[in-house]
Amino acid sequence: MKFYDCTVAPSPRRVRIFLAEKGITVPTIQVDLRKNEQFTDAFRTINPDCTVPVLELDDGTRIADVMGICVYFERSQPEPPLMGGGAKDSAVVTQWQGRAERDGFFAVAEAFRNSTPAFKTRALPGQDDYVQIPALVERGRERVQRFFNVMDSRLANSEFVAGSRYTIADITTLVAVDFAGWIKLAIPEDCPNLRRWHEAVSARPSAKA
Amino acid sequence: MKFYDCTVAPSPRRVRIFLAEKGITVPTIQVDLRKNEQFTDAFRTINPDCTVPVLELDDGTRIADVMGICVYFERSQPEPPLMGGGAKDSAVVTQWQGRAERDGFFAVAEAFRNSTPAFKTRALPGQDDYVQIPALVERGRERVQRFFNVMDSRLANSEFVAGSRYTIADITTLVAVDFAGWIKLAIPEDCPNLRRWHEAVSARPSAKA
């Protein structure tokens, strides 16, 4: 098994934290996105879509998707459960994970990729070129600020994002909040619940992954 | 249990097809998005984010998320499995479902919502106002056309989107392809594999859901 990673990138960090919480280590190969190593011919044979993370299984199957990789490890090593327990719990975790991904992570990415010179023609992840759209910078920032407020309200009544247990919804939210630092947005002072939560999840050893 | 639905909308259709494949029926309440019923005070108490679908469980828990609702039913009634079997299979299904959602469904939504007069100030789903960004219409259409090609290549070597079995990845792809009709994009002639697959999955009784 091999894990294609890039230590400075937020998407693979979601998987690294997941693995750290499970106590799983996987032989890892670094793909330096800052040097465009994802566009080399060698990496295109691993993932034609030119993104990390990628998990390569021993039979050669490659999973080039954060959630796909997490599902793989959740099924192969269920403890500790990070994607919910029974039907209801799993549904709640899935809902909040999705929300953190769409309204948090993707919103930061929208503002970041549309404003950073290095992404001039690569405003979306993947192998295809898309030019930057300046209006998305402001929209992305606005979405992130609303996301902070939504999560603050949620965490007023809940220890973790999806309830009383740490789950993948916390991982996605944590990575989104830290990624927001890249567009110079931090949790506002008037979001005390989100700040309390952020301090707690950042103190877990997995947050260093 | 109650399912808040809107028969003409593509997001809840993903759940309806999922339920039809499982042979599950749930008491359903229609929320007419064309009449803005999602913005009524009554519906805001059900889902403050003003979107459908929503599943309300008997204990009052509400799941306002397509994937969350599907996970609920997959866990409570595993047969037939629509989200994969073992670890590897589940990972592959999750990967393709995610791809169909991001590169297919969300791309169509991007082109549709940014070009349709009724969504002038509601270019993103949810309760918050976001004005239309004209550049996203062309970008969305370009993404959908690339999605058709990616899925055609995939289906050259695979009976269904995630392998030899019909799964939620087929549901998301089917709904995305049909939703593309709303922006007047159809599967191109030079995508014979995607056409063959679309004909097959559209012939299943669940496609009428």
Residue of chain B whose alpha carbon sits nearest to that of A94: B68
The answer, yes or no, to whether the previous bond of A205 is cis (omega within 30 of 0) is no
User: What pLDDT sits at residue B140?
Assistant: 98
Q: Which of B75, B86, B146 sits opposite A75 (nearest CB)?
A: B86
Q: pLDDT band at residue A72, thresholds of 50, 70 and 90? A: very high
Q: What is the pLDDT of residues B89-119, one digit of tens each?
A: 999 999 999 999 999 999 999 999 999 999 9
Q: What is the pLDDT of residues B157-189, one digit of tens each?
A: 999 999 999 999 999 999 999 999 999 999 999
User: What pLDDT sits at residue A44?
Assistant: 96
What CA dihedral angle connects A123, A124, A130 and A136, to 10 degrees? -50
* Relative orientation angle of helices A168-180 and A87-99, to the nearest 10 degrees: 10
How are the residues of chain A apportioned to helix, strand and coil, as percentages rounded to the nearest 5?
55, 10, 35
Q: pLDDT band at residue A78, thresholds of 50, 70 and 90? A: very high
Q: What is the pLDDT of residues A160-180, one digit of tens each?
A: 999 999 999 999 999 999 999
For residues B44 and B51, what is the distance between their CA atoms, to the nearest angstrom? 9
For residues A67 and B169, what is the distance between their CA atoms, to the nearest angstrom? 14
Q: pLDDT band at residue A80, thresholds of 50, 70 and 90? A: very high
Where helices occur in chain A by DSSP H, the ranges are 10-22, 41-46, 66-76, 87-99, 106-113, 135-156, 168-180, 192-202
For residues B201 and B149, what is the distance between their CA atoms, to the nearest angstrom? 18
End-to-end CA distance of chain B: 19
Question: What share of chain B in percent tops pLDDT 90?
Answer: 100
Q: Which of A68, A91, A95 sits opposite B91 (nearest CB)?
A: A68
Q: Which of residues 55-114 of A touch B (CB under 8 A)?
A: 55, 57, 59, 61, 63-65, 67-69, 71-73, 75-76, 84, 86-88, 90-92, 94-95, 98-99, 103
B145 and chain A in contact, CB less than 8 A:
no
Q: How far are the Cα atoms of A47, A48, B168 from residue A33, in angstroms, in the given order?
A: 14, 15, 32
Question: What share of chain A in percent tops pLDDT 90?
Answer: 100
Q: Residue type for A118, please?
A: A
User: What pLDDT sits at residue B110?
Assistant: 97
Q: What is the pLDDT of residues A85-125, one digit of tens each?
A: 999 999 999 999 999 999 999 999 999 999 999 999 999 99
The total of other beta-carbon atoms located within 10 Å of residue B121's CB is 10
For residues A84 and A122, what is the distance between their CA atoms, to the nearest angstrom? 35
User: What pLDDT sits at residue B150?
Assistant: 97
Whether the Cβ atoms of residue A12 and residue A86 lie closer than 8 Å to each other: no
The answer, yes or no, to whether the previous bond of A53 is cis (omega within 30 of 0) is yes
For residues B7 and B4, what is the distance between their CA atoms, to the nearest angstrom? 10
Q: What is the pLDDT of residues A183-205, one digit of tens each?
A: 999 999 999 999 999 999 999 99
Q: What is the pLDDT of residues A44-53, one digit of tens each?
A: 999 999 999 9
User: What pLDDT sits at residue A178?
Assistant: 98
Q: Which of B70, B17, B23 is nearest to B179 (CA)?
A: B17
The total of other beta-carbon atoms located within 10 Å of residue A94's CB is 27
User: What pLDDT sits at residue A182?
Assistant: 97
Residue ranges with strand state E in B100-170? none
Q: Which domains does chain B have, with CATH numbers?
A: 2-76 (3.40.30.10), 87-208 (1.20.1050.10)
Per CB-CB distance under 8 Å, the chain A contacts of B55 are: 91
Both tokens of A103, joined, read: 């309204």
Both tokens of A199, joined, read: 């301090």
Q: A67, B98: Cβ pair inside 8 Å?
A: yes
Written in H, E and C, the secondary structure of B25-91 is CCCEEECCHHHCHHHCHHHHHHCCCCCCCEEECCCCCEECCHHHHHHHHHHHCCCCCCCCCCHHHHH
User: What pLDDT sits at residue A107?
Assistant: 98
Is residue A55 within a helix (H) or strand (E), and if so which, with residue range?
A: strand A54-56
A-B CB pairs within 8 A amount to 97
Whether the Cβ atoms of residue A90 and residue B75 lie closer than 8 Å to each other: yes
Q: Residue type for A24, please?
A: I
Q: What is the mean pLDDT of chain B?
A: 97
Does the structure's ipTM exceed the value 0.85? yes
